[in-house]
Amino acid sequence: MKNAVLSRGGAVANASAPDGRTRDRVAQLLLERGAATAAELGADLGLSPAAIRKHLDAMLAEHLVEVRERPPRGPRGRGRPAKAFVLTAEAREGFPHFYDGIATAALRWIAEHGGPEAVSAFAAAQLAALEERCRSAMRSAGDDPIARAEALAEALTAEGYAANATAIASGGQLCQHHCPVAHVAAEFPQLCDAETAVISRLIGTHVQRLATIAHGDGVCTTHIPGPAREKTAITVRTG
């Protein structure tokens, strides 16, 4: 990624200054080596020990690297242990991952050996814990479907779904602006079906999924029907 620098929490921040590019190179070297001393990093990058130390100190302050002692080399282990630097788990999160590819391959294997029903069962099992957490967060929401949808939106937002609920003329809408499994769900709609079933159970009424990010829409949108209107009986008199 051009002009990017790892920041705390695995996020990637823009950095137009040379310092940002150098820190990226330091991080990449530590990823490849596993551990390295300041002298080794300086030699690889063609930088002075003082320059490398400046970058490592900044990365230490942001919890991107940590120090480990490396036993001295040579007979009888003479000399002080060298300080080697390694990436923290937070820093590693800033590098590309391939979770979607692994998840898709796993579901293909399940579909091949167990059929579509096995994929549906897997999807339901994966959402069980999320459903229970949301149910706990919605205990005080009452019975009104729209109020429950608003409470569910708050619970889903806390889970990273960036959700909101709004009232409309025909009832309500629950919108999710982020889908953690969108790429996988594009091939396996059972994931969306299982999520829709969870929403229905949590809100306490039948719902209809109108759009999904997995199918190319900008937002996952679920319609929540309003309460049925009472029909007025009309008596027709004759004679």
Residues 234 and 176: their CA atoms lie apart, in Å, by 43
Residue 94: its pLDDT value, please?
76
Which pLDDT tens digit goes with each residue over 109-120?
999 999 999 999
Which pLDDT tens digit goes with each residue over 70-127?
766 555 555 567 789 998 888 887 776 677 888 999 999 999 999 999 999 999 999 9
Which pLDDT tens digit goes with each residue over 176-189?
999 989 989 999 99
CA dihedral 182, 185, 190, 193 (to 10 degrees): 30
Percent helix / strand / coil, the chain, rounded to 5:
50, 20, 30
Residue 8, C-beta contacts closer than 8 angstroms, at least 6 positions apart? 62, 63, 64, 90
Residue 97: its pLDDT value, please?
66
Q: Is the pLDDT of residue 7 over 70?
A: no
Pairing of β 4-6 and β 163-168: unpaired
Residue 201: its pLDDT value, please?
97
pTM for the complete prediction? 0.62
